[in-house]
Amino acid sequence: MKQGLWLIGFIFLFVFNANEIFGQCTNCTAQYPAAIQSTTSNALVTVDPCMFGGEYAVFNVTAGETYTWTTCNGGTWDTQLTLFAGGAPGCQGGVAGALEYNDDFPGCGLLSTITWTATFTGTVNVLVSRFNCQPQASCMGLYWACVSCGVSPGDNYNNPGGTITTCEGNFYDTGGPAGNYSNNEFIVTTFCPDVSGECINMFFSQFSIETGWDFMVVYDGPNTSSPAIGTYTGTALNGVTLAATNASGCLTFLFDSDGSVTFPGWEASISCNTCGVPPPAPPTDCVGGTTVCDDATFSGNSSGSGSIVDLNSSNQGCLLSGENQTSWYLFSPATDGNIGFTISPGVGVDYDFAVWGPFPEGSTSADICPPPGPPIRCSYASGFSTNNATGSYDTGTGHAIYSSPQFASPFTTYSEGAGGNGWVPGLNVTAGQVYILVIDNFTSNTTPFNLNWNLQNGATLNCTPLPVEMLEFSGLRVENTNVLRWKTATEINADFYEIHRSSDGHHYSVIGTVLASGFTTSLSSYVYRDEDAPRSDCYYRLKQTDFDGRYEYFGPVIIEHRETSTKILNLHPNPLTSNGLQVEISTPHSMQVHVQIMDVTGNPLRVQQVALAKGVQTFAVDFSTYSRGVYFIRFTEQHGAVIDTRRVVR
């Protein structure tokens, strides 16, 4: 019944939004609270729990930061929010002067949310109104957050709401990596790529919410009006990768929790790939398997089955259930001998395993994944206990292969089913050969395990000799910066990357360095921003250097300097210290630009035309006849398209 009510409410939300009426409200009656609000919190904080329709609050904002204001955390009447530039009381600029407006934010029913990236440092006013731009004698809470404050690539995002622009980091529920989410949450968070032409990928390594009562809805786009990818509850997204396919490259996540019982929530890694190109497999797949570099005991946690199905009837051998929750590893002996290991999980947990090989020296994961045929060792045994010459060894529900000669004869079955004793013969190995190991949690409860190596007769382990495997090396011009991005599937012995730039594709100079990942078979992503790039075509290449001094080149890529649209690059001085405002503008061709000066109410004061040649140039706008105050200046192409609107202080 509870789930049904949720779905009915969700259907009503979309039916209502299909007919919503848009406007911008100016019915300011009073400022409340009296204090100017400031925050650097990424999570929503309370402005005031009781604001009446017609009241507005004043907020300090910083240019470049992204802010969210919302009534979606609770309310009983149909709200509208309007954002105005601050600096004086009330609703500045009227309808024409509003910076942002929202009525009936998708996912909030009749309530509202504004998300806005500040174009200046100063104050703004946010007006709370009742539909349709009316006062309201009962009150509701207003909340806000600076969703970008203090956030840098690779940070954690604890479901803060609003829009986040990044291609790196981790997406958690509000409880973060160690806590549960809260009751009565209704949060919409959007992730968009920080480079044009790329699409967000979200890999959920853990997903656990209350089945049938709490829900996550994922949309392929920048808001909840975008097409829905699906509605998920329970553990439905565990081990799943979701990828944007829309032009914006964004994914939007709506999370709704009920009023009782909370769960651990989710943990997801954020990455980007070129739109239309499938993302590389996450580490739970064979091609992303972890390289074993020594014989030290290690712990693992098979928590997902990956986005690629590596096992089927042709290669799974005794693993009759295929992939449940898998961890993949690659290992290669540095010297000849015998290799075995034991897998020790927690009580009541059933881990199975399989080994494939040997593969030729120098084989990469791309060469040998998925496994090309049946495994050479395989155990599907369930609960068992056995004794051997080392004394009683109760394996519980773990599995092992053993290689010492004195224990060879009791373990003659190379592959065993559910009724096996958990022991199969060890491996006689040759230096340099490569093996694949999969460990699968049949119980599928994410309980970790320990793996202990047993090396005999001189065998030692070394890192599998996988080279740096470059998946992508690309570049784009973003405003005045050339952005280089590259991704690798594997890196062995990789020390650093040098970034080389050339104007002719032949003569290069070093412009920067980026540390490499060293030893890894997980996906590694890199970004380098050339903020001093000349306004001309640029060639780039990478020089990857190993710890031992060996190196190789990747590239080149070319970033062409093309001005595809008219852009206002700078207005100065602002505030004005003289009568003239200098406008720096970039145009793709010769054109006429209309410059309109407006007062704070949006009324036009003067229009002038400026003839511009192709390229970057500067012209002046005369403010000598205007008194001190706040003005807006709008730039329009000759056919009516608005280039930009800026605020100017006289």
* pLDDT at residue 1, rounded to an integer: 32
**Tokens found for residue 469:** 């495997």
Q: Which of 185-194, 206-215, 517-526, 565-574 has the highest mean pLDDT?
A: 185-194
CA 46 to chain centre: 27
> Which of 136-145, 186-195, 595-604, 625-634 bottoms out in mean pLDDT, i.e. has the lowest?
595-604
Whether 166-174+196-274 and 19-146 are alike in CATH topology: the answer is: yes
Largest Cα–Cα separation, the chain: 102
* Residue 477 β-bridge partners: 482
Q: If pLDDT is split at 50, 70 and 90, which confidence band does 220 have?
A: very high
Q: If pLDDT is split at 50, 70 and 90, which confidence band does 583 have?
A: very high
Q: How does strand 386-388 pair with strand 298-300?
A: unpaired
pLDDT digits (tens, 9 = 90+) for 91-129: 755 444 678 888 877 556 678 888 888 888 888 889 998
In this prediction, residues 568-577 reach a mean pLDDT of 85
* pLDDT at residue 250, rounded to an integer: 94
Strand order in the sheet with 642-649: 604-612, 591-598, 630-637, 642-649
Q: Is the pLDDT of residue 3 over 50?
A: no
Phi, psi dihedrals of residue 400, rounded to the nearest 5°: -155, 160
What percent of the chain stands above pLDDT 90?
Answer: 11
Taking the complete model, does pTM exceed 0.75, yes or no? no
* pLDDT at residue 564, rounded to an integer: 54
* pLDDT at residue 180, rounded to an integer: 86
In this prediction, residues 528-537 reach a mean pLDDT of 86
Between 104 and 250, the higher pLDDT residue = 250
Q: If pLDDT is split at 50, 70 and 90, which confidence band does 351 have?
A: confident
In this prediction, residues 138-155 reach a mean pLDDT of 74
Q: Which residues of 431-444 are buried (b: 16+ CB within 10 A; e: fewer)?
A: ebbbbbbbbbbbbb
Pick the CATH number of 286-462 from 3.20.20.70, 2.60.120.380, 1.25.10.10, 3.40.50.410: 2.60.120.380
Q: Which of 36-45, 230-239, 249-258, 584-593 has the highest mean pLDDT?
A: 249-258
Between 443 and 222, the higher pLDDT residue = 222
* Residue 482 β-bridge partners: 477, 530
Q: If pLDDT is split at 50, 70 and 90, which confidence band does 89 have?
A: low
Nearest to 246 by CA among 229, 258, 266, 268: 229
Q: Is the pLDDT of residue 338 over 80?
A: yes
* pLDDT at residue 479, rounded to an integer: 63
The structural architecture, per CATH, of the domain 19-146 is Sandwich (2.60)
CA-based torsion, 68, 71, 74, 80: positive or negative = negative
Q: Look over the chain and give the mean of its residue pLDDT values, rounded to a whole number.
A: 78
* pLDDT at residue 7, rounded to an integer: 34
pLDDT digits (tens, 9 = 90+) for 353-389: 899 999 987 777 767 888 999 999 888 887 543 322 2
pLDDT digits (tens, 9 = 90+) for 23-44: 578 888 788 888 889 988 777 7
What percent of the chain stands above pLDDT 70?
Answer: 82
* pLDDT at residue 92, rounded to an integer: 58
* pLDDT at residue 393, rounded to an integer: 28
Q: Is the pLDDT of residue 348 over 80?
A: no
Q: If pLDDT is split at 50, 70 and 90, which confidence band does 407 have?
A: very low
In this prediction, residues 312-336 reach a mean pLDDT of 87
Task: Name the CATH superfamily housing domain 166-174+196-274.
Answer: Spermadhesin, CUB domain (2.60.120.290)
CATH number given to 469-559: 2.60.40.10
Nearest to 631 by CA among 87, 226, 15: 87
- Each domain of the chain, given as residue ranges in start order, spans 19-146, 166-174+196-274, 286-462, 469-559, 567-649
Q: Is the pLDDT of residue 218 over 90?
A: yes
Task: Name the CATH superfamily housing domain 567-649.
Answer: Immunoglobulins (2.60.40.10)
Confirm if 422 and 344 have CB atoms less than 8 A apart: no
Q: If pLDDT is split at 50, 70 and 90, which confidence band does 173 have?
A: very high
Q: How far is CA 471 from CA 280, 366, 513, 523, 599, in A?
A: 8, 11, 19, 9, 53
